[in-house]
Amino acid sequence: MDGGVHYTLDCPVCGSTILIPEHRLAPVLASQVPRAKATELVGAVCGGCRHIRTYDVEVPGPNPPVGPVVALVQASDWDYVGWLPCEVRNCQSHLPLFAPLRRPISPEDWNQYVATWNWDDLVCPAGHKISQPPPETSEA
């Protein structure tokens, strides 16, 4: 699937725009139990400075859609990577992670890529720090 609606997020560190494809995010959030209420949180890696942060993504309501979205002819480079679990034992929180990614990617390349990310600002929905990389991915 190419193009479609993307959520636009602004990296507060370098000002780059992060483009999360809606058609990849929606099924991920729909699978989340329990559903978050007014806001949806995602972890996203900046394509400019490689900071990984927690962002609020407003999910489109029944009508009309809300939130800053753009329609792109081609899909952005951001793709769903996996769930980031909170490291606090009793927290149970987790974030869906999106990163600029071109598949397929070998486990070696993946590990090198993840090693370039800056985790300083990533927190779970409850505010706990997350500094744990996701497992290597081969999921498409």
Least gap, CB of 34 to Zn ion (angstroms): 15
Closer to Zn ion at the Cβ: 5 or 88? 88
Residue 46 binds to Zn ion (criterion: CB under 5 A)? yes
13 in contact with Zn ion (CB under 5 A): yes
Considering the rule CB under 5 A, would residue 14 count as an interface residue with Zn ion? yes
Binding status of residue 93 toward Zn ion by CB under 5 A: yes
Name the minimum Å distance from CB 107 to Zn ion: 26
- Read out DSSP for 51-69? BEEEEEEPPP-SSS--SSE
Beta partners for 95? 84
Amino acid of residue 137 = T
Task: Say if residues 97 and 42 touch (Cβ distance below 8 Å).
Answer: yes
Instruction: Count residues near Zn ion (CB under 5 A).
Output: 14
Token pair listed for 136:
């290597």
- The 8-class DSSP code of residue 123 comes to B
Told to check if 85 binds Zn ion by CB under 5 A, we report no
Which of these, 83, 29, 80, 87, lies nearest to 58 by C-alpha position? 29
Q: Which of 60/119 has CB closer to Zn ion?
A: 119
Q: Which parts of this chain interact with Zn ion (CB under 5 A)?
A: 11, 13-14, 16, 46, 48-49, 86, 88, 91, 93, 124, 126, 128
